[in-house]
Amino acid sequence: MVKIRLRRTGRTNSAAWRIVAADARSPRDGKFLEILGWYSPKEVENNFKVDLERVDHWVSHGAQMTEQAASLVRLARKGKTTTTNEAKNAKRARRMKAKKAAAAQKKEGGAA
């Protein structure tokens, strides 16, 4: 069975991923049949590209996509050229703001 999945490349702590068609039995970074695109999560603009024509070819021949690969293909079909972490960063900012407020309140309560 052929799977469309991500293959890790890049340096330590600086991962990049290739979207590949590979035999389901081969290891994550092992032998693959074809490179279908790439994904670089550290990039801010244009951080992924998918060849939708080749993805459709493999799917028509029975290939199955992993969740992550399917997510990138879905974004590519919508015409988005980037994936941003704006929502994730906003959530992190709210969490940090709440922590700071709690620490300031605790400090005021302990000093009085």
pLDDT digits (tens, 9 = 90+) for 18-36: 999 999 998 888 889 999 9
Spatial distance between the Cα atoms of 39 and 68, rounded to a whole number of angstroms? 10
pLDDT (mean) for 77-92: 70
Which range (19-28, 54-63, 78-87) has the least confidence?
78-87
Percentage, residues of the chain above pLDDT 70 = 90
How much is the pLDDT for 112?
53
pLDDT (mean) for 62-67: 94
Domain ranges of the chain: 2-81
The pLDDT mean for the chain works out to 87
This prediction has a pTM of 0.69
Confidence band for 9, pLDDT divided at 50, 70 and 90: very high
* CATH class for the domain made up of 2-81: alpha beta
